[in-house]
Structure 1
Amino acid sequence: MPTYTLTPTQLAAYAKLFDYRTQFVQAARQILSAGGIAAAMPGDGDQQIPRTYNSLDFAVGGADASRKIPVALGGGRYREYGRFTGTLTLMVCVPIEEVQAAGDQLTVEHLRELDRITSTARVLFMEHLEPFSATLLPNLDVQALVPIEPDERPEEAREVNTARLRWRLTFELRPNAWPSL
């Protein structure tokens, strides 16, 4: 891979652009909160989380090889990415006492609550597709927002007191968002 020499200003611009995970999770939390759905983020302490809560996280998936663009990872390290695929996980947790009382199974009431929350979340996110690309994440375009069902993990890997809904998002970097080399 070629070596790129970047000015401190260019490095700062790359770092800001690449920090989409934190920006996206914060944006998702704001949208859910505005819709009356409280959500915890990675790093929130247990004492700040209500007993029944939603948890947001965003994991990076693969990168498309269609367009290679150098991205500064910090510390003088670089990687080439074109298109990103990520997964926003909306996790609804049920208090363990309720699960134990139900015989270690999610009850019909829990599933109804999960369905209510996830359907509300879907509507909220679909309403905010353009702000995601235009305001909240000015350097990223949301190409797709598709729910993934059911939970793909093997049965033994699932947590008894947790139900999940995942949203798959594809981002494409706008060429004019990149600092010139």
Structure 2
Amino acid sequence: MDADHCKFETNALLSSIADNRKFSSGEPVIDAFFHEKAEQSDAEFHTQTTLMFADHNLVGFYSSSVRTFEIRYPDFKDFVREEMLRPEELDAMETGDELSYPAINLQYFAINQNRQRNGLGRIMMRTFLSEIAAAYLDHGLGFSGVFLYALPDAVIFYQKSGFRVLNGIDFENGPDLQQYPMFLSTKKVLDYYAEG
């Protein structure tokens, strides 16, 4: 079914009575989190997992948390352009310096495998970013942006949503799992929200 003809609703994982056992994104690491760890992680207040339904069928989920993240020298100029770092601060930086920022970590974001590539991911991302903008505008939660680690096949999707790949974050990619650190500034989240 086309995303334009669906009625959407979202529920927190811990408040939902939906049967989640049939959900599969096609990515084993994401599915393992969703089926084996998401409920406990939410119950321990480590993450907040939101389920998205289309016409009462579970089609996707995302899990997020609040974290700090460090940027390193290769990304400093981009942070000046985004007005998160003043030019005089950049002038005082040296290779090897790090900066820490508070941010929202989008830990997992997935659409059910049999519903992918029909616009549901775009709709779910719009919902997520609207909630993030509301946290800033309506609830006074300050943060520098949203960061995530994208699987290779998802990088283009996140770039279309406004995220950019970071170059200066040390991240251990395992032999079976390669990920790309990506970032979207709060300013861009608010701009995206204003356009929506």
TM-score norm. by structure 1 comes to 0.32
TM-score norm. by structure 2 comes to 0.30
Structure with greater strand percent: 1
| Higher RCO structure, 1 or 2 (CA under 8 Å, sep 6+) | 1
